[in-house]
Structure 1
Amino acid sequence: MVVWLFSAGKITCTRVAELKGKYTLLHKTVISLQESEIQLLQEAKRLSVELEQQQHELEKAEQFPEESFSEVLQIRKQLLSCQDEYNAIKERESDMQYKIRCL
């Protein structure tokens, strides 16, 4: 179209060069946008797969038996109780050693 207008004397050679430059810039921009769109679509697919995996892991965790959680809590309570008892024994031992030294 531009060449036809130039041949018909409707636009100047400078205007043809200007329009070709704008067209080239627009063409490069379109290609760049298409490449960006492809990258974004690939990233969206990757994130979608990752989300599905996380949802699957969450579903598995939610199906974990309740008694296992209560068993863990019970064992944790026993551990804390034993630690408290151990600390009390250490404190009594320390008190006894102090009393022995004082004698």
Structure 2
Amino acid sequence: MKRSLITLAMTLAVAAPAFADQALATSKNCMACHSVDKKLVGPSFKDVAAKYAGQAGAAEKLASKITKGGSGVWGPVPMPANAQVSDAEAKKLADWVLTLK
């Protein structure tokens, strides 16, 4: 029983930041066009993470795309600007996306 509780506590401690940032993505309507692991209107967050893995300045580039929008990188459907997302929130979202595998 004690081992089960320790395992559960460790799992929650590791998963909590991911859930918190997914909650931010949900609250900012990112999940209307994106999913963690499958393409919807836009690419999955895991595909974004794979594309930008290891690139210098990737988090800043993605944060800018979150707030200002973009087009042409993932096909013909543009990503609209997200004025409801602050610069700090965009950075947090970009950092989270880049951790997904």
Shared fold (TM-score, shorter chain, > 0.5) = no
**Structure ranking higher on relative contact order (CA contacts 8 Å, 6+ apart):** 2
TM-score tier after normalising by the smaller chain length = under 0.3
Larger Rg computed on CA atoms: 1
Q: So what's the TM-score if we normalise by structure 2?
A: 0.23
Higher helix share goes to which structure? 1
